[in-house]
Structure 1
Amino acid sequence: MTVNSTPLTKDPIAEAALNWERHGWGEVAAPMAAVTSIMRAQQILLARTQTVLKPFGLTFARYELLALLNFSREKRLLMSKASALLQVHPTSVTNAVDRLEAAGLVERRPHESDRRALVLVLTDEGTRVAAEATEALNAEVFGQTGFEDGDVAQLNEILTRFRAQAGDFEAGDGVESPAGRDR
């Protein structure tokens, strides 16, 4: 499935790269095509995930929050910690929590010792939805990316290195990268 209903007859990104070269920007034509391809791939993959998550009443951002809570030891996290781990502004987490709370999937609770802090707690229904949505994503998106196994390993390695160099995380933080793992 693509975001377009009908595939284009030519690759518009390759055409753009040719235009870059024709206009004297040949030295950045390939990097422009790479950046644009990554952005387009993100649109395609996001559309796929949204299609799978729609029956659960979730967006990918809300799913990420549910999954994060579901993977936490006690199915609870400080709201500020969730924001940091998801690498989004606290306002974005608040918006997602508002929707998840209205759906009965999470609860906000005051922190036991810090009145200013809020704890997000996954409900039983949230645990169920997180598990079912994860199964659906694994079957319909993550297990069927359209990438070859070797491509997945190479993509993970390249993108992990890029993210570390961009300051997304500190390299050598002790977290094993999925870069070299087989699916």
Structure 2
Amino acid sequence: MAKRLADDVGFLLSRASGQVLKATNVALAAHGLRARQYAVLALACEAPDGSSQRHLAGVLGLDPSQVVQLVDELVAAGLVERRVAEADRRTRLVVATAEGRRVGEAAGADADAAAEAPLVLLSEGERDVLRDALTRIWTATG
């Protein structure tokens, strides 16, 4: 690898992310999901009362129109449903179905294992440091 690229943190993050994403998508395919769909489903599973599509877009760093498409796909698969928010009838909440919770749990275990595979070169402590550093960057710029 060229020295310039080896020193480029953005390039290295992108390449590492690509490796993790590829492994994760392979694992999620067995559940009929891709990484972005799984992320929406996981967030819906974490919020028993549902999450607004706007909130999902903000957390995932996606355009709201992308989230609408992802939710449409998950609704068609029977994994989530849209409900009207009681506090604001204009807001639609994305809520995991019972099947969505089941698939989300199984897919999550497989996705976690797949995401760890490219990181086997790092010790557990190094993975913790990496996770903490990336979390700080994400939450500071989120």
TM-score strictly above 0.5: yes
Match of 1:40 in 2: 15
Cα distance in 2, alignment partners of residues 66 and 105 from structure 1: 7
Note the residue ranges of structure 1 that are not aligned, 5 or more in a row: 1-11, 21-28, 170-183
What's the CA shift for 1:156? 2.4
Larger radius of gyration between Structure 1 and Structure 2: 1
Cα distance in 2, alignment partners of residues 77 and 47 from structure 1: 27
Say if 1:109 and 1:121, in contact at 8 Å, map to a contact too: yes
Structure with larger RCO (C-alpha < 8 A, sep 6+): 2
Greater helix fraction, Structure 1 or Structure 2: 2
Output the amino acid matched with 1:60: A
Match of 2:110 in 1: 136
Is 1:122 paired with 2:96? Answer: yes
TM-score by length of 1: 0.68
Say if 1:66 and 1:122, in contact at 8 Å, map to a contact too: yes
* Local SS of the residue matching 2:93: strand
Cα distance in 2, alignment partners of residues 123 and 79 from structure 1: 16
May I ask how many residue pairs the two structures share in their alignment? 141
TM-score by length of 2: 0.85
Percent identical residues: 30
Match of 2:27 in 1: 52
Runs of 4+ in 1 over 4 A off after TM superposition: none
List aligned pairs for 1:16-35, cutoff 5 A. 17=3, 20=4, 31-32=7-8, 34-35=9-10
Is 1:111 paired with 2:81? Answer: no
* Local SS of the residue matching 1:51: helix
Note the residue ranges of structure 2 that are not aligned, 5 or more in a row: none
User: In the superposition, relative to structure 1, how do residues 139 and 129 fare at CA in structure 2: closer, same or farther (>3 Å)?
Assistant: same
